[in-house]
Amino acid sequence: MSAVLKINGAEKTFDDGLPSNLSELLTILKIDTATVVAEIDGKIIERKDFAQTSLNEAQAIELIRFVGGG
Amino acid sequence: MAPQTFFELKNAVVGIAGLGGLGSNVGVALTRLKVGKLILVDFDVIEESNLTRQNYFADQVGQHKVDASLENFRRIDPEANLKGHKTRLTPEKIVEVFKDCHVIAECFDRADQKKMIVETVLTKMKDVVVVSVSGLAGYGRSNEIVTRRISDRLVLVGDTVSGTGPGVPLTAPRVGIAAYHQANAIAELLLNELHIKLARNSK
């Protein structure tokens, strides 16, 4: 069954159902965990907790990606 | 006539994490604004290649960036209240050296370091706002560099996609645009949101 997550204000459909946790979501989106800050419903999730953080369709997920340069 | 300054800023403390293309230029702007105190942190020394975009001079090559920035900012304002730390920032060090700051400017080069400081400030430091930059490499596309308020304590400057890489160098104009976005966001935060706290501290 497909599922929908709200990521950075836009809805994204997952045909194979919800990713089981934040870590799996980042893998599916091909985002490097070393360079992203993740926020769910306004709360920052630390990198060490990515694999233990489950997801649901009601959440507002913000993924802030960093690229090099400064 | 005395130069006009914002009275509210005299009680503000701003941390600058990294004194490369962003930090060396953010510091110039904040010194000219007469922000009360600046805490400057970098472990590196100036290389000739840095002169393409960083606020240093040919005769400063080989000096620590902290020492050269202290010298340059004091040439702008001999009364500037500046504190320098020659150290590599870790999560523990960030909490320690920036503990008195109202705002921290994330001015690192590497993406994983940017993430590290933003995550540290947002999870380990109460009430401090971090102004970070992602996406400033290359040239042109000035208007794609924007300032966005991600949340109460996070402001993000940049185009979010232009990382450094082969054929995509960092250039003075585009790094400068991002640095001045960052300094302007800090001025806005201090004057619009933190002025009540700053006024209270002065009593």
Which chain A residue shows the shortest CA-CA distance from B172?
A70
A66 touches chain B (CB under 8 A): yes
Q: B125 — contact with chain A (CB < 8 Å)?
A: no
Q: What is residue B199's three-state secondary structure?
A: helix
Q: Give the SS3 label for residue A45.
A: strand
Do B133 and B158 touch, CB atoms closer than 8 A?
yes
- B129 versus B165: which is more confidently predicted? B129
Q: Do residues A52 and A21 make contact, with C-beta atoms less than 8 angstroms apart?
A: yes
Helices (H), B50-194: 65-76, 91-97, 111-124, 172-188
Q: Which residues of B touch A44 (CB under 8 A)?
A: 119, 122-123
Report the alpha-carbon distance of residue A37 to residue B115 in Å, rounded. Answer: 6
pLDDT of residue B2: 58
Pairwise CB contact (< 8 Å): B163 & A37: no
Return the residue matching tokens 């290649």: B49
Determine the pLDDT at residue B195: 74
Q: How far is CA B132 from CA A1, A20, B160, in A?
A: 39, 30, 11
Torsion angle of C-alpha atoms B81, B43, B67, B135, degrees rounded to 10: -70
Top-level class of domain A3-65? alpha beta
Contact indicator for B85, B41 with CB cutoff of 8 Å: yes
pLDDT at position B7:
75
Contact of A36 with A61, CB cutoff 8 Å: no
Using the predicted structure, report yes or no on whether residue B89 has a pLDDT greater than 60. Answer: yes
Q: Which residues from A are below 8 Å from B50, CB to CB?
A: none
Question: pLDDT tens-digit profile of B108-162?
Answer: 999 999 999 999 999 999 999 999 999 999 999 999 999 999 999 999 999 999 9
pLDDT at B1: 53
Please check the confidence at residue B3 and state whether its pLDDT lies above 80. Answer: no
Residue B202 has a pLDDT of 59
B173 at A interface, C-beta within 8 A = no
Measured between alpha carbons, how far is B133 from B155 in angstroms, rounded to an integer? 8
The C-alpha of A55 sits at a distance from chain B's nearest C-alpha, in angstroms, of 20
Q: What is the pLDDT of residue A35?
A: 96
- Whether the per-residue pLDDT at B5 is higher than 60: the answer is yes
Positive/negative CA dihedral, B183, B184, B189, B191: positive
Q: What percent of chain B has pLDDT over 70?
A: 96
Please give the pLDDT value at position B198. Answer: 73
pLDDT, tens digit, 9 for 90 and up, residues B64-77: 999 999 999 999 99
A60 touches chain B (CB under 8 A): no
Q: pLDDT tens digit string along B36-56?
A: 999 999 999 999 999 999 999
Helix (H) or strand (E) holding B41: strand B37-41
- Over 60: is that where the pLDDT of B203 sits? no
Measured CA distances, B114 to B61, B79, B118, B194 (Å): 25, 31, 6, 24
- Segment (H or E) for A62: strand A60-65
pLDDT at B4 exceeding the cut of 90: no
Instruction: List CB contacts (< 8 A) between A68 and chain B.
Output: 109-111, 114, 137, 163-165
What are the residue ranges spanned by the domains of chain A? 3-65
Contacts of B63 (CB under 8 A, 6+ apart): B45, B46, B56
The tens-digit pLDDT sequence of chain A (70 residues) is: 889 999 999 999 999 899 999 999 999 999 999 999 999 998 999 999 999 999 999 999 999 999 999 9
- The beta-carbon neighbor of B115 closest among A39, A66, A69 is A66
CATH number for the domain whose boundaries are B7-201 = 3.40.50.720
